[in-house]
Amino acid sequence: MTMNEDEIRCLLALATAGDDSALGQLLEQYRPLLTRMTQQQLPNDLQPRVGNSDAVQVSCLSAIRSIKNFDGNDPAEFIAWLTKLHHDNLQDIRRDHIDRDKRSTRRETSGSNLVFRDERQQTGSAWTIQREDRQAVLDALDALPENQAQVIRMRHMDGMKLKEIAEVVDRSPAAVAGLLKRGLKTLREHFDGTNSSKTQ
C-alpha cells in the first residue's frame, strides 16, 4: 500500500528514534524502488547469479545497521540516503564478482583464444593470442599499471561496455578509453617485441 508523505514522515521519525518496526515498514515502502535500481544498474548476466531480491535485501540490512547515521527528517532525504546506500552496495557486488571472475580467469590454463579489439578502429580488426600463450597474456597484464590492466580485463575478458566500466572504476568513459588505449599499446609492443625475438 502506498503511503502519503505525512505517514512516511511519521514512520521516519519513529525509525530514527529506534523503532525497528517503523523502519521495516519504510523499507517495504521503498523496496520496489530498490528493485528497479537493481534491474537498471546490475548487468543482465550478473542478475541471475546474484538475484534482484537478494541484492535489495543486502541494502535493507545495511539500512537497518546504518539508520543511526541518518540525521535527516524529510522523506526526500531518506530516499536519497537509501538509494545512495543501495547504489554503493550494487557497486560492491559488481566489483566482488569481477574480482572473482578475474581470479578464475587467471587460474585457467586453457580455453578460448583471447581477442583484443583495436579501440582505434571501427572495422572490427583484432589481434589474437593463441591459447597456448594465454598465460603469457595474463603475465603481461600483471606487468601493466593496475588501472590499465583492470579496464582491459573488464573490457576484453568480461565484455563490459565503456560506460559500465566507468561506473565501476569511478572515472569518465573518456578516461577509461585512455587507459584502454595506453594499456593495449603496451601489450602490442610487448608481443610484437616477443614475436620479433622468436623469429631472429
Task: State the CB neighbour count (10 A cutoff) for residue 160.
Answer: 21
Every domain of the chain with CATH number 1.10.1740.10 lies at 5-103
Q: The whole model's pTM is what?
A: 0.50
The grid coordinates listed for 23 are 523502519
Statement: residue 128 has pLDDT above 80 = no
Look at residue 169 and tell me whether its pLDDT is greater than 50: yes
Instruction: Compute the distance between CA of residue 14 and CA of residue 146 in angstroms, rounded to an integer.
Output: 46
Q: Between 107 and 151, where is the model more confident?
A: 151
pLDDT recorded at residue 10? 93
Say if residues 56 and 38 touch (Cβ distance below 8 Å). yes
Pairwise CA distance, residues 185 & 166, whole Å: 20
Q: Is the pLDDT of residue 15 over 90?
A: yes
Cα(26)–Cα(199) distance, integer angstroms: 69
Q: CATH code for 111-199? A: 1.10.10.10
Domain with CATH 1.10.10.10 in the chain: 111-199
CA distances from 150 to 81, 106, 183 (A): 30, 13, 10
Correct CATH for 5-103 of 1.10.1060.10, 1.10.600.10, 1.10.1740.10, 3.30.420.480 = 1.10.1740.10
Q: Which amino acid is at 182?
A: R
Is the alpha carbon torsion for 18, 23, 25, 26 positive or negative?
A: positive
Show the cell assigned to 48.
541471475
Residue 67 is predicted with a pLDDT of 93
